[in-house]
Every structure is written in structure tokens, then in C-alpha cells.
């Protein structure tokens, strides 16, 4: 079983006009592909050669920074593609809606905090909506850092705020990219599925992430 680049969960032009075919093609086909390939090369002929990508991320943090950066970026990008969908965005539905209202007070307050966190992130990184001890929290990570390696955190959504994610479409206007994500692209179904998995695993005293995410990396 070798590490492979999972296909996008939608067509290259499916997120237009908010994220262009040109951006998705370069982001998935060049950037994400390069992280997967680097992870594959760095794990060749090592005990991690056939390990699930999540395990490679955990095993490489924090000491093997070259492998961690590649593997975490490979994992983060797959999570990002799943955090987006055509005709997404707007107000959350289902259990996520209730939890957002409980934890942030309102959808509007959630959006405002997300925009502030995403626009304040200095340099390259990621903005996450995570479940932390049953409560929602918005957090940012720098470069390849990921909440995946923090045992108590369960990622529910992410937004890539590296410039390569938006520069072709928005140039320096990160705020417009963040607004487009919230209004038109957020995949609330994905967040609801992650939340449901967390609910089931909490009853067993474990923290479970969507296994489909990792299965996609091995063929």
C-alpha cells in the first residue's frame, strides 16, 4: 500500500466563482500532491512506510520536523477539501447549529470570531473549528501545525490561510476569501458527521475522527 493523493471530493470548477479551477488545480495538483509525495519519500524503507497518514503525523511530531511538515500538510489539506462543498456556507444546520448557539451565542458571533481569528493569523497557517471537551473552539495554527496531534481536540472544520489557497483569486484580500468560505463554501454536513463520530466515541471514552479521511490516502 503506498501513500497516494486522494482525489478532490468535487470537480475542479465546482467551487467557482469563490475558488477558481485555476486555484484548485494548483492547490490540489501541485501543493497537496507535493506534500503527499514528500511524505511517501521520507517514509520509504522505514517502519512508517505502510502506516496510516494520521500515524505518520503523530509519530513525526515534534522531533522529525521535515516529515511532520509534509505529513501534517498532507492530512490538513484532505481535511480542508472536505471542509468545503459547492452550495455550502451560510448558517449551520442540525446538531452543529445547536452547539454553535450554545457555545458562541449566535451564528453571527461565531462568524465574527472566525473572521477575526482567520484575518489575524500572521503568515501561513490554518484556522480550525474544534471540539474541546464538548465545547466548540476556534483556533489558528501556524505553518503545518495541526490540532490532530493534540489528543483532547477534535477538528470539525478548517480553512487554509496559506497565500497559495487564495492569492490567485483574491490577491492580498484574505478577508474576502474568509467571507466567501463562511457564506458559500463551509461544509456543515462534514462538521456534523465529525461531531456525530465524536458523540459515539465519547460514550466509549475515546476520541474518534472520520476514518474515511485517512483511508483515502492509501491504495
Q: Give contact residues for Fe ion (rule: CB under 5 A).
A: 160, 162, 165
Residue 65 Cβ vs Fe ion, minimum distance, rounded to whole Å: 18
> Cα 78–119–38 angle (5° rounding)?
30
Residue 179 Cβ vs Fe ion, minimum distance, rounded to whole Å: 19
* C-beta of 8 vs 99, nearer to Fe ion: 8
* C-beta of 74 vs 165, nearer to Fe ion: 165
* C-beta of 68 vs 162, nearer to Fe ion: 162
* C-beta of 86 vs 167, nearer to Fe ion: 167
Residue 165 Cβ vs Fe ion, minimum distance, rounded to whole Å: 5
Report how far residue 80's alpha carbon sits from residue 87's, in angstroms, rounded to the nearest whole number: 16
Closest by alpha carbon to 140, among 154, 149, 129?
Answer: 129
* CA distances to 60, 81, 146, 168, 203 from 19, in Å: 32, 12, 23, 9, 38
Residue 12 Cβ vs Fe ion, minimum distance, rounded to whole Å: 15
Residue 158 Cβ vs Fe ion, minimum distance, rounded to whole Å: 10
**Which residues, other chains included, contact 28 with Cβ-Cβ below 8 Å and sequence gap of 6+?**
5, 8, 12, 77, 81
Residue 169 Cβ vs Fe ion, minimum distance, rounded to whole Å: 13
* C-beta of 138 vs 144, nearer to Fe ion: 144
162 sits in the region (left: phi over 0; alpha: psi -120 to 50; else beta) called: beta
Shortest-Cβ-distance residue relative to Fe ion: 160
* C-beta of 92 vs 165, nearer to Fe ion: 165
Amino acid at each position: 500500500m503506498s501513500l497516494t493523493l486522494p482525489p478532490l471530493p468535487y470537480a475542479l470548477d465546482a467551487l467557482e466563482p469563490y475558488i477558481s479551477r485555476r486555484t484548485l488545480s494548483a492547490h490540489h495538483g501541485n501543493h497537496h500532491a507535493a506534500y503527499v509525495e514528500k511524505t511517501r519519500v521520507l517514509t520509504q524503507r522505514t517502519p512508517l512506510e505502510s502506516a496510516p497518514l494520521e500515524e505518520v503525523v503523530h509519530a513525526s511530531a515534534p522531533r522529525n520536523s521535515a516529515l511532520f511538515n509534509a505529513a501534517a500538510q498532507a492530512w490538513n489539506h484532505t481535511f480542508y477539501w472536505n471542509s468545503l462543498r459547492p452550495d455550502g456556507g451560510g448558517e449551520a444546520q442540525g446538531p452543529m447549529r445547536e452547539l454553535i448557539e450554545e457555545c458562541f451565542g449566535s451564528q453571527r458571533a461565531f462568524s465574527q470570531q472566525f473572521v477575526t481569528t482567520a484575518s489575524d493569523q500572521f503568515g501561513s497557517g490554518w484556522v480550525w473549528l474544534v471540539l474541546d471537551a464538548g465545547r466548540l473552539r476556534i483556533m489558528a495554527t501556524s505553518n503545518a501545525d495541526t490540532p490532530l496531534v493534540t489528543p483532547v481536540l477534535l477538528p470539525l472544520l478548517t480553512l487554509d490561510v496559506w497565500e497559495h489557497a487564495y492569492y490567485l483569486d483574491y490577491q492580498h484580500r484574505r478577508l474576502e476569501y474568509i467571507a466567501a468560505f463562511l457564506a458559500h463554501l463551509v461544509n456543515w454536513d462534514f462538521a456534523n458527521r465529525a461531531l456525530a463520530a465524536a458523540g459515539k466515541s465519547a460514550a466509549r471514552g475515546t476520541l474518534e475522527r472520520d476514518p474515511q479521511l485517512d483511508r483515502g490516502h492509501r491504495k
